[in-house]
Amino acid sequence: MSVLEKITSKDAIALEEKHGAHNYHPLPVVLSRGEGVFVWDVEGKKYYDFLSAYSAVNQGHCHPTIVNAMVDQARTLSLTSRAFYNDMLGKYEKYATETFHFDKLLPMNTGAEAVETALKICRKWAYEKKGIAENAAEIIVCENNFHGRTTTIISFSNDPVARKNFGPYTDGFIKIEYDNLMALEEALKTNENVAGFLVEPIQGEAGVFVPSEGYLKGAKALCEKYNVLFIADEVQTGIARTGRLLATCGNCSCVDKHCSGEPEVKPDILILGKALSGGAYPVSAVLANDGIMNVIRPGNHGSTFGGNPIAAAVGMAALGVVKEEKLAKNAYVLGEIFRKELNEFIPTCNLVKSVRGKGLLNAILINDTEESSTAWDICMALKENGLLAKPTHGNIIRFAPPLVMTKAELLDCVSIIIRTLQTFKQ
């Protein structure tokens, strides 16, 4: 079969089934085009994208500014490796560090790589700056975390599906309950070798679990008290998704007046990925100030593709779009409307227990067990009605549309969701 030939959904799925590893369980829809908040399947049916590739496509599908930057750079210079300088990386690093108010940026490609990088920086800092004995450093992580799929990262996951039969696991991690400052202080008090605390400002994969008011600020204060690095994994929550440029929102240049909830919390190490490229290209980064980032010297860490000219051009364009189109503000405003509309509907429907989230990172909790297929079945019905979403767990559905959505489009989506839930037969 020629790669240019049109293919039916059924055939495309069959090809993946036969020739691809079965490491995902996709909704049975085969997409072939995207634009803004919409995607189209190979049969031409149009859908609202309510997942945004796990919040990578915050700027909307095929954003012309990002695509143009990518294509222009691809025609000019794509990859040099870091054996040589390229004329784009420094410009991007300046732009991104000014945007997020850090001294330095270390460029990688995927989110998991950026998390690995942050863990390495944290450990090296612990030995060289904090004075922890060699190989004794511990990093505190949270239960139900999701930080990626590498061997080290799954070592501190507590999802049996992600972990089982992938051992032996990497040592040096202490797991505590999320959203529990007492547990954090206890872990800090009883372990003198703690180097860092790695945390998601909102646990996305766990089902959009929003911590209590003041949790991040309290955690940061405890980290300061015990001289431990506060490492924020904003791969999913960052880049305007939660209604601010960052969910931790240090003194960033985001929406200010629209900053509700958690006041300024500045991580010692910030991890970004996903929407850092608007979904056009794999771009991730670790940001920190000099006192921390300077522990990394030539040869300590690297990536052939990390910081390549296309990634740099795409990263700058993608961040530019977020600022230019005030996506943090839009996410904040639309998120308030989304939760208000659903909160009005939920008491009339015993299928949904609640809605939670911040900005346009939201989830509904289905009134059924984790083992039930109800959430999956609802997503299938939503697909029929022209809206694509996916359960995070058996009974939680995440709703995360591109942030370029208009209010009219959002209300249209709310009505699709409500109509689907109303007609849904359990």
Ligand X SMILES: *Cc1c(COP(=O)(O)O)cnc(C)c1O
In the residue annotation, 368 being an active-site residue is answered as no
CB 242 within 8 A of CB 358: yes
Binders of ligand X in range 28-67 (CB under 6 A): 54
Nearest distance from C-beta of residue 276 to ligand X, angstroms: 10
Binders of ligand X in range 324-383 (CB under 6 A): none
Q: DSSP letters of 375-392?
A: HHHHHHHHHHTTEE-EEE
Binding window for ligand X (CB under 6 A); candidates: 36-44, 75-83, 143-151, 219-227:
143-151
Which one of 41, 93, 138, 233 is in contact with ligand X (CB under 6 A)?
Answer: 233
Q: Is the dihedral of CA 244, 250, 255, 260 positive or negative?
A: positive
In the residue annotation, 49 being an active-site residue is answered as no
CA 65 – CA 123 distance, rounded (Å): 38
CB 399 within 8 A of CB 338: yes
Q: Is the dihedral of CA 346, 351, 353, 355 positive or negative?
A: negative
- β-pair type (38-41, 31-35): antiparallel
User: What are the structure tokens assigned to 379, written together?
Assistant: 């997503």
Which residue's C-beta sits nearest to ligand X?
111
Query: Which residue, 163 or 326, has its beta carbon nearer to ligand X?
Result: 163
Nearest distance from C-beta of residue 112 to ligand X, angstroms: 3
Q: Does the protein bind ligand X through residue 230 (CB under 6 A)? A: no
Which one of 58, 73, 236, 374 is in contact with ligand X (CB under 6 A)?
Answer: 236
Count of residues near ligand X by CB under 6 A:
15
Catalytic residue among 100, 146, 230, 338: 146
Q: Which residues partner with 248 through β-bridges?
A: none
Q: Does the protein bind ligand X through residue 273 (CB under 6 A)? A: yes
Q: H or E element: which one contains 16?
A: helix 9-19
CB atoms within 10 A of CB 95: 16
String of contacts with ligand X for each residue 175-204, x by CB under 6 A: -------------------------x---x
Q: Does the protein bind ligand X through residue 116 (CB under 6 A)? A: no
Q: Which residues partner with 358 through β-bridges?
A: 361
SS3 282: coil
Binding window for ligand X (CB under 6 A); candidates: 167-175, 207-215, 229-237, 351-359:
229-237
In the residue annotation, 146 being an active-site residue is answered as yes
Q: Which residues of the chain form contacts with ligand X (CB under 6 A)?
A: 54, 110-112, 115, 146-148, 200, 204, 233, 235-236, 273-274
